[in-house]
Amino acid sequence: MILLSGIQPTGRLHIGNYLGAIQNWPEFQKKYTSLFCIVDYHAITVYQDPKRLKQNIYEAAALLFAAGIDQKKSIVFVQSHISAHTELAWILNCIMPMGWLERMTQFKDKSQKQGKERVGVGLFDYPALMASDILLYNVDVVPVGEDQKQHVELTRDIAGRFNKLYGKTFKLPKAIIPETGARIMGLDDPDKKMSKSEKTYGHAIYLLDSPDDIRKKIMSATTDSLRSIRFDKKRPGIYNLLTLYERFSGDSRKDIEKRFQGKGYAKFKQELADIIIEGLRPLQNKYKELTANKNDIDTLIRQGADKARPMAEKTLRLVKTKMGLL
């Protein structure tokens, strides 16, 4: 069974990315042939500062390795290093009805915010490229957040359409969505998902934040004026912090509520900051070790592309043959 997931190098990775995605990925290597793609062509669907993009690609790769993804067991690679991704995306474009793309929630949200005159064609076409990422590798399962489920379903639809037109070529992939508690909210605004594009200081804890920053951000996180420390979805601020406590400690909700019964928010936040700092420490140490020599990560990324490329090219050749292009 083959697994593929992707992450956009659009900013620095935060604990939402960690708990919702990256932390689970090393586990997958045991069960699946796994590919992890840093989707830089998806990132440029909105403007990226060139220097920062380069740094973000490097940092994302290094963090994946630091989190325990092993280039010997899995394949970590950068999307733009393999030209088959954009080639297949073009081909899929040609059989992709506009209406399907117009129905995508992510596009509707983003284009409404920016307006049609401003938004790039790439953003509209984003799901075709994502379908191409998946279909090139005969993928069975795609671990993604809830928000990406629609794109994986579109991938199945376009694969089905291709198979109908040109004969069975693609496998139909399935999304796997992590269990609840995987949606981490902004610390400054618990009604909004923690996001790489939100720039306020107290919004997100980045994986490479110093202990000082982590503590400051937790201590100033938005809560409410009630006192009790309980998992109550109607109180999004404290619920989000408790979820972080649950995920970083591995303790049950009942035990956590019991531990903080009658205690104040300040005490709870102190302890939460402690376990996040400790929880991220091994990752941060490993990151430092891996990046001591910059070339090491570059070499690993190159190796990843060298492993993935023949797989992608084989699929592309098959597609072209079926279509009469070869």
State the residues that interact with ligand AMP by CB under 6 A. 7-8, 16-17, 19-21, 144-145, 182-184, 193-194, 196
Owner of token pair 């020599």: 293
- The catalytically annotated residue of 116, 149, 168, 196 is 196
**Which of 24, 13, 17 lies closest to 208 in space, CA to CA?**
13
Q: What are phi and psi of 192, to 5 degrees?
A: -115, 140
Nearer to ligand AMP, 172 or 182 (CB): 182
Neighbour count for residue 279 (Cβ, 10 Å): 19
Cβ pair 124, 100 in contact under 8 A: no
CA distance linking residue 2 with residue 273, whole number of Å: 37
- The answer to whether 33 contacts ligand TRP (rule: CB under 6 A) is no
Cβ pair 250, 223 in contact under 8 A: no
- The catalytically annotated residue of 149, 171, 193, 216 is 193
SS3 198: coil
- The answer to whether 130 contacts ligand TRP (rule: CB under 6 A) is yes
- The catalytically annotated residue of 110, 216, 286, 322 is 110
Cβ pair 173, 43 in contact under 8 A: no
Neighbour count for residue 210 (Cβ, 10 Å): 11
To ligand AMP, the closest distance from the beta carbon of 160 in angstroms equals 24
User: Which CA distances in Å does 319 have to 4, 91, 168?
Assistant: 20, 9, 10
- The answer to whether 42 contacts ligand TRP (rule: CB under 6 A) is yes
- The answer to whether 142 contacts ligand TRP (rule: CB under 6 A) is yes
CA distance linking residue 303 with residue 74, whole number of Å: 11
Burial class of residue 184 (count of CB atoms within 10 Å of its CB; 0-12, 13-18, 19+): buried
To ligand AMP, the closest distance from the beta carbon of 172 in angstroms equals 20
- The answer to whether 14 contacts ligand TRP (rule: CB under 6 A) is no
SS3 91: helix
- The answer to whether 133 contacts ligand TRP (rule: CB under 6 A) is yes
To ligand TRP, the closest distance from the beta carbon of 130 in angstroms equals 4
Is 193 one of the annotated active-site residues of the chain?
yes
Is 196 one of the annotated active-site residues of the chain?
yes
Nearer to ligand AMP, 71 or 240 (CB): 240
Nearer to ligand TRP, 42 or 215 (CB): 42
To ligand TRP, the closest distance from the beta carbon of 6 in angstroms equals 3
CA angle centred on 107, ends 152 and 46, rounded to 5°? 105
**Residue 183: which of ligand TRP, ligand AMP, none does it interact with, CB under 5 to 8 A by kind?**
ligand AMP
- The answer to whether 148 contacts ligand TRP (rule: CB under 6 A) is yes
- The answer to whether 17 contacts ligand TRP (rule: CB under 6 A) is no
To ligand TRP, the closest distance from the beta carbon of 216 in angstroms equals 28
**Residue 193: which of ligand TRP, ligand AMP, none does it interact with, CB under 5 to 8 A by kind?**
ligand AMP
CA angle centred on 209, ends 40 and 35, rounded to 5°? 35
β-partners of residue 34 are 3
- The answer to whether 5 contacts ligand TRP (rule: CB under 6 A) is yes
> Which residues of this chain interact with ligand TRP, rule CB under 6 A?
4-6, 8, 39, 42, 130, 133-134, 142, 144, 148, 151
Report, as residue numbers or ranges, the catalytic residues: 110, 193, 196
